[in-house]
Structure 1
Amino acid sequence: MADELPKAEIIKRESRYLRGTIAECLADEATGAIADADTNLTKFHGSYQQDDRDVRDERRRQKLEPLYMFMVRLRLPGGVLTPQQWLGLDEVADECANHTLRLTTRQTFQFHGVFKNKLRPLIQKVNKLGIDSRGACGDVNRNVVSNVNPHESQVHAEIHRLSAEISQRLMWRSSAYAEIWLGEECVHRVGEEEEEPFYSYYYLPRKFKIALAVPPENDCDVFANDIGLIAIVESGEIRGFNISVGGGLGTTYGEPETYPRLGRVAGFVPPDQAADACEAITAIQRDFGSRTNRSHARFKYTLDDYGMDWFHEKFAEYRGESMEDARPYHFDNNGDRFGWVEGENGNSHLTLMIQSGRIADFDGYSLRTALREIARVHIGEFRITCNQNLVIANVTPDQKQRIQALVDQYGLDDGSRSSPMKRNAMSCVAFPTCGLAMAESERYLPELTRKLDAMMEEAGIADTQINVRVTGCPNGCARPYVAEIGLTGKALGKYNLYLGGDTKGERMNRLYRENIDEETILSILKPMFERFAAEREDGEGFGDFLVRSGIVDADRSPRVFHEAFVSE
């Protein structure tokens, strides 16, 4: 029944294929905001309405509306772009945003501080670069991510091609995007064939995410996605893909029926059937995902409700044939390769550490200027990693020295300037712009990593990689639930502490303590670091040690994820 549907579901269905009154709101100069219903719809167009929370109270005292602004996220399958596109996006950051670029954990860009009157110019400028923001947010398939794999040139090329194919196939089709943002005439009329042959007028129940990984590297955290394609490579050729289903890291405090979950490997498909398989699985979620309870609408809950046997039956029905049995594979890490790596084609690739993915000119560190100068001379491409770092890819032998000279000139971090822990740490944006943030994340990460580094130095494990991820709320944007140490914001200066993930992205951590401050977090971790230093086995990671020693119980079901292992 329509009256049983949540508000967001009704808005989608009545939006005239995502048009709503967005165009009218953009023309309203009396406010910096858009109508509440349209804030749901602009997500499909790649934008979230936000406000500057640092000045919210002061503006309230002055009887002013919040300082509304927007975040705009781009669709960039596989995270690959040309130097010319980089330079164009760099200009957009000055002309339409807050003079920074931010690399996301889904291999794309976010622009922050975009005021309403700059939304349309920004999207038009991005469109001229051959990029769009369609479906970067909203209840549709999001940006398709993949392994970077710069050293496996031919395999990466095929993985990137497939990520672009899947993204294009599952992109929403309504002409609303062109009408609202690009000034094209309305071509759809009421009563004509619907504009969305795949999504229909109701789209998906919730967001949907797809990732492609190439073992032994899992730098995209493939199991954190609704669909994960795990490439089976033999003799340098992709023989097909194991398919993982039902991953997703979002959860809600106080709602124990919500929980993060890693995907489960369901079977194998040949390479020419991978995109078809993704479309069939997405259609299953479209048709059977919950429409009445948004908290229970992700694909992971659909699978938990119906079971894997049901899923296999539905897949065979929708696809016309069953999956084959899964093939053997092995992951050994979910981090990035820093520094120079030579690819199969003789070209080289340089991975740079970008803390929290923020590209700006900082005091004493002209990062944005340096990358602009590199883009002006580079003839290869840039690749964004799912860990918020950047690869200057396909550098020819005769160009390598020139690129390295710019790296040296500007003191760019190729991983050698940072500790192993710092260069693998991640955070979401949180304050001041994210309306969901309960605690600091990006602005807090440098201080946290400095203090953790000092404790690790004191314990004699400074050269050990420990995966740390921080978010300002429980939604999991920086994938904190697969970190060895994960912090999720609970209140200003307070976090939930999660421990026990691994370095392969194959095991979730578990809630250890709730709602604790920094002093408590450090006092918990200090003796653990010391014990790890004294008792670890050869090659054992910190998270593995915590599980082996019984400090963390890794066997608890995701359904009891919110139960702390140690009560306060």
Structure 2
Amino acid sequence: MSTDTPKLSPVEKIKEASAYLKGTIGEEISEPIDHFNKDNLQLLKFHGSYQQDDRDARLTAKKSGGGKAYSMMLRLRIPGGRITSQQFLSMLDLCEEFGNATMKVTTRQTIQLHGIVKDDLRPTIDRINKLALSTLAACGDVNRNIMCCPAKHSSNVHAQIQALTDKLVPAMAPQTKAYHELWITDTDSGEKSLAGGGPDPDAAVHGELSGDPVEPLYGSTYLPRKFKIGIALPDDNCIDVYTQDLGLLAVVRDGNVIGYNVLVGGGMGTTPSAAKTFPALAKRMAFATPEQVIGVCQCVLKVQRDNGNRADRKIARLKYVIADWGVEKFRAEVEKYYGEKLADCTEDDVHEVDDHMGWQDQGDGKWSYGLNIENGRLYDDDKHQLKAGLRAVCHEFKSEIRMTGHQSVIFTDIAESDKDKLIGLIKEHHIPTTEETSTVRRWSMSCVALPTCGLAITESERRLPSIIDGLEQPLAKLGLEKERFTIRMTGCPNGCARPYNADMALVGKAKGKYTLFVGGGWLGNRMAFVYKDLVPDDIIVDEMVAVFAAYKANRDAGESFGDFCNRVSRDDLEVMAAAAPKP
């Protein structure tokens, strides 16, 4: 590592003094207070948890003289979104026993539990680990949950990329024992409790290690900022490979993966008040063979470890190193760490996306069924019983569940003769089937936002369904109800629902006001642009419908919505939207 001693941000100092993420978390857990101190809040992220304040509950509490309504959000690490029916059922149990009785399927193919009080955090994490799952490195300045196409298919290609996901998890994982010491009550569970943490004895190590005996890959201060990896196929970019810090695009020849085009420097977060920040799509760096790819991934992480900005967290992610250096210099540094030159990327690039919804043939005589879960939230109420319905399916079929990067779930290994039974269970619990879900709703997603996310400025998850309600009829009148375009919504500019490469996006900018973006696309390889800023919530649907009307009236034959918006200028689009007949 570099011998230079940069000025450290406060978070860097907290990590450095934490004894490998242990801090004083253990002592605080036992204290009779409902929240953690600011130093431990930073460390808890590495263990998979954020402290939150329910702003709805806070308002109620204030009326009776109370203060903030603290609770913990807990996120799992589930590589590639693959989980057994029994694990899924147990997570539903946990959300009811310790959480707020809802469960969230995230945009990174994993699960979040909300509303866990401080005293219940340790038993919840302990139970999760006893399910052979983990929360370690689900958050924090480390490599987070690795995304991969979740499709269950008998092809060699899917088997190969999913096997790579499983190998990358231990190769990129932190090795601290603090997680086990803090959260796991069964001391005999040992390394098993890490659920993928710790070294991979079969993985080759390339480049400079940190020189640290506990964390040879990360060092005692870990990474400057979060780091995300995703694996995709050219004909199926379902995990948004260009938004990852490190994207691996499989290169397929004759039904086998011969290597990966390595993409670096994606990231959605930005701070509008800080011009130095920006969202970015990854850049194509080099080609790695299956034998090289794990070592190359480690070296990309190490270059970021040693060169990312540790003084200013706003510009600490990998995309800023690449913006400063250029991808050519960055590649040269990766090759230096790796110890040999890498080949150039092949011509292969993304050209299709499959959300894996509805019935799909696995190629082995069985079927999978993708069920659209609006915004990933699983709950039961008078209208829909999503939790009860998924419980019934898991009990009946006991198949593997796979979560998508679009916050939905896939039931696998369904026999042809059981198709009607599966659909019957879904309908019995008043859950809309994928076939009954409109195209615009199916391709929409949002972040959590209010009331629990501390960064949220506006509503998102709770608002998007009514926005989609307002769009469905006008789109049908325009004849666009079957058109595929992505609509994404976030409650702040940090971009957790990946808005900046969508066909259309709403990003919370001020109380009750959104920035309206257009011009990305469902392929995920182009940035959107600002169409209008600070649009009031009460006219947002009208503004969106006007743009769709302009598209209907002015598009070229076969032109997608994102391509149309990208082709015309922002000013011309506004003129077209004003002039187009409204449905």
TM (norm. structure 2) is: 0.90
Match in the other structure for 2:382: 363
Q: CA offsets per residue over residues 219-247 of structure 1, 9 Å max, x none?
A: 10000001000011122211111110010
Match in the other structure for 1:89: 91
What secondary structure is seen at the aligned counterpart in 1 of 2:469?
helix
Match in the other structure for 2:104: 102
Equivalent-residue separation in structure 1 for 2:323 and 2:435 (angstroms): 44
Answer whether contact 2:427 2:433 (CA < 8 A) is retained: no
Match in the other structure for 1:54: 56
Match in the other structure for 2:310: 291
Equivalent-residue separation in structure 1 for 2:527 and 2:506 (angstroms): 13
**Equivalent residue for 2:163, pick from 161, 164, 188:** 161
Answer whether contact 2:457 2:510 (CA < 8 A) is retained: yes
**Equivalent residue for 2:216, pick from 197, 218, 241:** 197
Could you tell me how far 1:400 is from its partner in structure 2?
3.7
Match in the other structure for 1:457: 476
Answer whether contact 2:283 2:327 (CA < 8 A) is retained: no
Correspondence 1:106-125 to 2 at 5 A: 106-125=108-127
What secondary structure is seen at the aligned counterpart in 1 of 2:55?
coil
Which amino acid is the alignment partner of residue 116 of structure 2? V
Which amino acid is the alignment partner of residue 109 of structure 1? I
Equivalent-residue separation in structure 1 for 2:534 and 2:354 (angstroms): 28
Equivalent-residue separation in structure 2 for 1:63 and 1:259 (angstroms): 41
Equivalent-residue separation in structure 2 for 1:69 and 1:407 (angstroms): 32
Answer whether contact 2:7 2:310 (CA < 8 A) is retained: no
Could you tell me how far 1:325 is from its partner in structure 2?
1.7
What secondary structure is seen at the aligned counterpart in 2 of 1:505?
coil
Runs of 4 or more consecutive aligned structure 1 residues displaced over 6 Å after TM superposition: 184-187
Match in the other structure for 2:445: 426
Match in the other structure for 1:245: 264
Equivalent-residue separation in structure 2 for 1:285 and 1:152 (angstroms): 36
Answer whether contact 1:107 1:384 (CA < 8 A) is retained: yes
Answer whether contact 1:502 1:544 (CA < 8 A) is retained: yes
Answer whether contact 1:441 1:471 (CA < 8 A) is retained: yes
Correspondence 1:152-551 to 2 at 5 A: 153-183=155-185, 194-551=213-570
Which amino acid is the alignment partner of residue 17 of structure 1? Y
In 2 relative to 1, CA 458–403 (structure 1 residues): closer, same or farther, beyond 3 Å?
closer
In 2 relative to 1, CA 152–227 (structure 1 residues): closer, same or farther, beyond 3 Å?
farther
Answer whether contact 2:308 2:318 (CA < 8 A) is retained: yes
Equivalent-residue separation in structure 2 for 1:552 and 1:172 (angstroms): 49
Structure 1 window deviating more from structure 2 (113-122 vs 145-154): it is 145-154
1:23 and 2:26 equivalent? yes
Could you tell me how far 1:277 is from its partner in structure 2?
1.2
Answer whether contact 1:453 1:462 (CA < 8 A) is retained: yes
Equivalent-residue separation in structure 1 for 2:84 and 2:478 (angstroms): 44
In 2 relative to 1, CA 394–552 (structure 1 residues): closer, same or farther, beyond 3 Å?
farther
Answer whether contact 1:315 1:322 (CA < 8 A) is retained: no
Q: CA offsets per residue over residues 122-147 of structure 1, 9 Å max, x none?
A: 11111111000000000000100011
In 2 relative to 1, CA 85–311 (structure 1 residues): closer, same or farther, beyond 3 Å?
same
Instruction: Give the paired residue count.
Output: 550
In 2 relative to 1, CA 405–526 (structure 1 residues): closer, same or farther, beyond 3 Å?
closer
Answer whether contact 1:485 1:500 (CA < 8 A) is retained: yes
**Equivalent residue for 2:8, pick from 2, 5, 26:** 5
Could you tell me how far 1:7 is from its partner in structure 2?
0.8
What secondary structure is seen at the aligned counterpart in 2 of 1:99?
coil
**Equivalent residue for 1:77, pick from 70, 76, 79:** 79
In 2 relative to 1, CA 423–136 (structure 1 residues): closer, same or farther, beyond 3 Å?
same
What secondary structure is seen at the aligned counterpart in 1 of 2:550?
helix
In 2 relative to 1, CA 249–205 (structure 1 residues): closer, same or farther, beyond 3 Å?
same
Could you tell me how far 1:63 is from its partner in structure 2?
3.5
Could you tell me how far 1:105 is from its partner in structure 2?
0.3
Could you tell me how far 1:401 is from its partner in structure 2?
4.3
Answer whether contact 1:359 1:367 (CA < 8 A) is retained: yes
Q: CA offsets per residue over residues 92-130 of structure 1, 9 Å max, x none?
A: 111111111110000000000010111011111111110
Answer whether contact 1:144 1:209 (CA < 8 A) is retained: yes
Q: CA offsets per residue over residues 22-62 of structure 1, 9 Å max, x none?
A: 11111111x21011110000000000000110122343454
Which amino acid is the alignment partner of residue 48 of structure 1? Y
Equivalent-residue separation in structure 1 for 2:154 and 2:461 (angstroms): 32
Answer whether contact 2:445 2:489 (CA < 8 A) is retained: yes
Structure 1 window deviating more from structure 2 (398-407 vs 436-445): it is 398-407
Answer whether contact 1:46 1:133 (CA < 8 A) is retained: yes
Equivalent-residue separation in structure 2 for 1:163 and 1:316 (angstroms): 22
Answer whether contact 1:20 1:41 (CA < 8 A) is retained: yes
Match in the other structure for 1:559: none
Could you tell me how far 1:184 is from its partner in structure 2?
6.6
Structure 1 window deviating more from structure 2 (124-133 vs 314-323): it is 314-323
Q: CA offsets per residue over residues 403-442 of structure 1, 9 Å max, x none?
A: 2332343343332112111111000000110010000000
Could you tell me how far 1:541 is from its partner in structure 2?
1.3
Equivalent-residue separation in structure 2 for 1:383 and 1:83 (angstroms): 10
Equivalent-residue separation in structure 2 for 1:66 and 1:373 (angstroms): 37
Structure 1 window deviating more from structure 2 (230-239 vs 35-44): it is 230-239
Unpaired runs of at least 5, structure 1: 555-565
In 2 relative to 1, CA 193–232 (structure 1 residues): closer, same or farther, beyond 3 Å?
closer
Equivalent-residue separation in structure 1 for 2:545 and 2:430 (angstroms): 32
What secondary structure is seen at the aligned counterpart in 2 of 1:460?
coil
Answer whether contact 2:251 2:259 (CA < 8 A) is retained: yes
Could you tell me how far 1:159 is from its partner in structure 2?
1.6
Answer whether contact 2:285 2:328 (CA < 8 A) is retained: no
Answer whether contact 2:231 2:250 (CA < 8 A) is retained: yes
Equivalent-residue separation in structure 2 for 1:134 and 1:43 (angstroms): 9
Could you tell me how far 1:363 is from its partner in structure 2?
2.1
Q: CA offsets per residue over residues 448-471 of structure 1, 9 Å max, x none?
A: 111122321232322212211000
Q: Percent identity?
A: 38
What secondary structure is seen at the aligned counterpart in 1 of 2:220?
helix
What secondary structure is seen at the aligned counterpart in 1 of 2:41?
helix
Equivalent-residue separation in structure 2 for 1:516 and 1:145 (angstroms): 33
Equivalent-residue separation in structure 2 for 1:4 and 1:450 (angstroms): 50
Answer whether contact 2:6 2:310 (CA < 8 A) is retained: no
Could you tell me how far 1:148 is from its partner in structure 2?
2.0
Could you tell me how far 1:335 is from its partner in structure 2?
4.8
Equivalent-residue separation in structure 1 for 2:262 and 2:444 (angstroms): 28
Could you tell me how far 1:546 is from its partner in structure 2?
1.1
Could you tell me how far 1:387 is from its partner in structure 2?
0.5
Equivalent-residue separation in structure 1 for 2:221 and 2:146 (angstroms): 21
Could you tell me how far 1:197 is from its partner in structure 2?
1.4
